[in-house]
Amino acid sequence: MRTMNLGLSGLAVPVIGVGCMRINGVGRLEAEAFVKTALDLGCNFFDHADIYGGGACESIFAEVIGMTPSVREKIVVQTKCGIRPGVAFDFSQEHILKSVDASLQRLKADYLDVLLLHRPDALMEPEEVAAAFAALHDSGKVRHFGVSNQNPMQIRLLQKWVKQPLVVNQLQFSIAHAGMVSLGLHVNMLDDAAVSRDGSILDFCRLEDITIQTWSPFQHGYFEGTFLGNKKFPALNAKIDEIAEKYAVSNTTIALAWILRHPAGMQPITGTMNVKRFKECVKAADIQLSREEWYAIYLAAGNTLP
306 found inside a domain: no
170 found inside a domain: yes
Average pLDDT over residues 171-191: 95
- Going by pLDDT thresholds of 50, 70 and 90, the confidence category of residue 221 is confident
- Going by pLDDT thresholds of 50, 70 and 90, the confidence category of residue 271 is very high
**Domain containing 227: what range?**
3-231+252-288
301 found inside a domain: no
167 found inside a domain: yes
Round to the nearest angstrom and report the end-to-end CA distance of the chain. Answer: 37
Is the dihedral angle over the CA atoms 162, 167, 170, 174 positive or is it negative? positive
Number of domains observed in the structure of the chain: 1
Does pLDDT of 224 surpass 90? no
Note whether 78 and 144 are within 8 A (CB).
Answer: no
Average pLDDT of the chain? 97
Does pLDDT of 286 surpass 90? yes
What is the pLDDT at residue 223? 81
271 found inside a domain: yes
What is the pLDDT at residue 242? 98
β strands within the chain, DSSP E: 3-5, 12-14, 17-19, 45-47, 76-81, 83-84, 88-89, 112-117, 142-148, 166-172, 211-215, 267-270
pTM for the full predicted model: 0.96
238 found inside a domain: no
176 found inside a domain: yes
DSSP 184-230: HHSTT--SGGG--SSSSHHHHHHHTTPEEEEESTTB-TTTS-BSTT-
How confident is the model over 59-85, as pLDDT tens digits?
A: 999 999 999 999 999 999 999 999 999
**Is 52 among the catalytic positions?**
yes
Give the other-Cβ count within 10 Å of 170's Cβ: 25
* CATH number, domain with residue 216: 3.20.20.100
83 found inside a domain: yes
